[in-house]
Structure 1
């Protein structure tokens, strides 16, 4: 499927369709069982034309398992949810349970992980605020065997129905996508920028929007760690813009006759380097 939006806003990279499936395509990239990896690295590869697959044993990291819909995989974090809450905030070095877990994990976890485990990533001020955030994350248990990332151009809408479609957009393109998301609707908040991991802003958060009475698009890739992992593949100027499938079709139908065919946008697009 070719996207009218992608052409009208001049996307550099393929829109990525996220699907649930019971079979894995033969050519799909996949993390090795039990090995760490960033889901957004696979997303970057899908944006560059490849297909990636994940299952309940190959989601890469604990946040990735949550983001893709494999339940509360933070329970599998060393020391469980409590240690994860300290990891994301102030660190585990300052409480007894955290120090005990650090000793049991030892060198097997790697230097960078242990530094963050002990000292904290500092993304949230306190462990209590992390636990409050975890209560808001719309965790789910998908009923399919696999989550797939595929270039939208390889999707046949007669046979496949993606959960989400995700664009990679620079500031000009993001501006256009925000306007288009609001173009045919009442209100002015049809796009949201939540605080979450990069994979969660393309996975479970758009999944949740699809089930709401008024679904919104979700801006993501504001996750600093994920940005670090994908910069070498994509460059530094992009954010993600994820939509539930039905919202994507709605926006596709609104391209013709919109501002995307008018002089201000076309002149801006023409002036891009």
Structure 2
């Protein structure tokens, strides 16, 4: 089968293989895909009990479980239900982020943040959105976003540099570290980049509340699936090429 005939998910998995040859990761890669099907054995949030999706991230990474998101999550994991486009983003006038979490100093700043967040949301392509360990995703699925987890700062540096390797426009700002919620950083914002002519890479999980639920050494690096494939194809010939002897001094 020719490369152009392969399914998106097959190309993404092959791209991950290329990455693992030159970059070290301390957690398995995660992929996101839409579906009209209620896939069996998926984790579903209870409707009337508040939860943060990151409470269950270990279940995805360590046990191979998939999480299903939909409009039914609105009273449980509220962030994904809204930021992933299933429900309208609630505007409380900025009160929660200022008075409860204290992530913004004034209501005006918080309101501006909500407005900007809303501008990044895209309607869901289907009834459900699934988050699953990349290696477990069925090859018939079309992966939208990939999350990878560099092992340390050295490996994060490799990903940042590779992000700018083929850049023709954003020479120094092709990687973003947004001040946003954890769920925005691993899906909403990188998914929004899919619709850009020159998609940027997103470093995430930088929200103080989310850090209570993820391992101390976990940082996400997220890109749309099409960009993930492009970056993997750029490894050969770049500073990450296995045949290139990287200079350590001059």
- TM-score normalised by L of structure 1: 0.75
Aligned residues: 225
* In 2, Cα distance between equivalents of 1:127 and 1:35: 27
1:153, CA displacement in angstroms? 1.1
Whether 2:113 is the aligned partner of 1:133: answer yes
Identify the structure with the greater helix proportion. Answer: 1
1:56 maps to which of 71, 85, 98: 71
Q: For 1:254-273, what aligned pairs fall within 5 Å after superposition?
A: 254-260=234-240, 261=242, 262-264=244-246
Q: For 1:101-180, what aligned pairs fall within 5 Å after superposition?
A: 120-137=100-117, 138-157=120-139, 159-169=140-150, 170-180=152-162
Residues 72 and 171 of structure 1, relative CA distance in 2, 3 Å threshold: farther
Whether 2:227 is the aligned partner of 1:247: answer yes
1:198, CA displacement in angstroms? 0.5
1:27, CA displacement in angstroms? 1.8
Q: Cα deviation per residue 1:170-198 (whole Å; 9 max; x = unaligned)?
A: 32221111111111222232111111100
1:125, CA displacement in angstroms? 0.5
2:175 maps to which of 175, 191, 197: 191
Residues 30 and 6 of structure 1, relative CA distance in 2, 3 Å threshold: farther
* In 2, Cα distance between equivalents of 1:175 and 1:38: 29
Residues 7 and 225 of structure 1, relative CA distance in 2, 3 Å threshold: farther
Identify the structure with the greater strand proportion. Answer: 2
1:88 maps to which of 78, 82, 97: 97
Q: Which runs of 5+ in 1 are unaligned?
A: 76-80, 92-119, 268-273
Q: Which runs of 5+ in 2 are unaligned?
A: 1-12
* In 2, Cα distance between equivalents of 1:156 and 1:263: 37
Verify the 8 A CA contact 1:6 1:15 in the aligned structure 2: no
Q: Cα deviation per residue 1:63-112 (whole Å; 9 max; x = unaligned)?
A: 2322323233425xxxxx22xx11211x2xxxxxxxxxxxxxxxxxxxxx
Verify the 8 A CA contact 1:72 1:139 in the aligned structure 2: no
Whether 2:19 is the aligned partner of 1:39: answer no
The equivalent of 2:39 in structure 1 is: 25
The equivalent of 2:8 in structure 1 is: none
- TM-score normalised by L of structure 2: 0.82
Question: Does 128-137 or 171-180 show the bigger shift?
Answer: 171-180
Verify the 8 A CA contact 2:146 2:224 in the aligned structure 1: yes
Bigger Cα Rg: 1
1:237 maps to which of 189, 213, 217: 217
Verify the 8 A CA contact 1:63 1:74 in the aligned structure 2: no
